[in-house]
Amino acid sequence: MADIRVPKLNNNDTEYLVVEWLVEDGKPVQAGDPVAVLETSKAADELEAAEPGHLHHVAGLNTWIAPGAVLARITPEAVPEAVPEASTDAQAAAGAVPASAAASDTTPAPADVPATGAPVITDPARALMDALGVTVAQVTALGLPVIRRVDVERLAGSAGAPPATGGHAGADGGDPGQVRAAGGPAPQAGERAGAEGSDGTAGTHPLSRVQRAVARAVTTSHGTIPAAYTVVKFDVGPLLERTRGLSREVRRPVGLAELFVQAVAALHPAFPLFFASIDGDRARPAEAPRIGVTFDMGQGLYVPVVHDTGSLREIADTLMRYRLAATEGDFRERDLTGANIAVTLHTDADVILAIPFVFPGTVCALAITSPQPEVVLGEDGAVTTRTVANIGLAYDHRLINGRDAALFLAALRMELH
């Protein structure tokens, strides 16, 4: 028998909400199968089975559960010999507390019947309500016992919902749910569930699980992070020349992505705040650089994390594995957690400017655009060409100022050359 314990998903929350079981109680699972979805203040995370067997739920749906607590058990048998049902007291001792108990000091009712008759509103849902101007009365009218962030997203995007007021405007002038991540797929978090046709009927296009996660991250970012952006032109011709020799040297494909990941990681000692997270009115520095790198190979936008940045060979190995995983959407949970800065790749031909969103839990995202030829005057006065790319930095203005961003980009250029 093996326990599935809740990992620490971020530094801000002490408990998470069990919002969905992906495998029914007692059903068989294989190692690596996603089994449950937990919602944090930043995102919704899938937890996977570590080994094959039959899954047995320990925590209830719509209950709060702390890091380290047992979420489920995997046994060889369809019916375990003894998996005692957890009482409310036992759940509290294990770190799982019914959502209704979190909302009331009275004896909690079952999780699907809130004691007060009013819905339990999760912290992520309440934060999004504040950002979009959705009222408690509106979410109560949904008739749901627990209001999650996705419910608020659906309400804000539904045809019958009144326009939100007081929300944070997106970069395109719309609300946060309509903002696009530049160079990435459209989040569509706030788009209407169906487009009205000439006959008055509505069609629907379901969003994939990956796209819903992107939507949540983009909405949270634009609603909570006061981001700014600085862009600098880099001469990348010498870098491209170097990649050929480096590829032969490490016997792995080396391109701009590998070189920028290595250079960004090298700046961690001199620019620790660029790798920090914000906790209230304090910055929490990271012990080591953990570089998230964006990949979209047609299966959705993923941001796997390069944890080991000690050598170019290690970085090249990791990114090569991630490119293969991105073609199938086949990432492990640990591949997608722990980033403290992001490098976003927008190197499709002719992309000259990309403004990434700052991923929740980080304060900076670096954008690398497509190399372009540029006509310049040489030192001898003759007309010549060079290869340039616009390298931009999106940053959380609560912690990073424009001068700091310019110094970081200047240091990055020096590190690369």
Higher pLDDT, 380 or 42: 380
Q: Tell me the per-residue pLDDT of 121-137, one tens digit each, with 9 for 90 and over.
A: 776 677 777 777 778 88
Counting every residue written for the chain, the total comes to 417
Give the pLDDT confidence score for residue 42 in this predicted structure: 61
Query: pTM of the entire structure?
Result: 0.55
Residues of the chain with CATH 3.30.559.10: 224-416
Q: Provide the CATH number for the domain formed by 2-75 in this structure.
A: 2.40.50.100
Q: How confident is the model at residue 104 (pLDDT cuts 50, 70, 90)?
A: very low
Q: What is the DSSP letter of 120?
A: E
Residues of the chain with CATH 2.40.50.100: 2-75
Q: Tell me the per-residue pLDDT of 358-408, one tens digit each, with 9 for 90 and over.
A: 988 899 999 999 999 999 888 888 899 999 999 999 999 999 999 999 999
In order, the DSSP letters of 349-415 are TT-----PPPPTT-SEEEEEE--EEEEEE-TTS-EEEEEEEEEEEEEETTT--HHHHHHHHHHHHHH
Higher pLDDT, 177 or 122: 122
The mean predicted confidence, pLDDT, of the chain is 77
Alpha-carbon span 186 to 184, nearest angstrom: 7
Listed range (95-99, 294-298, 392-396) with the worst mean pLDDT: 95-99
Q: How confident is the model at residue 231 (pLDDT cuts 50, 70, 90)?
A: very high
- Domain with residues 224-416, CATH architecture: 2-Layer Sandwich (3.30)
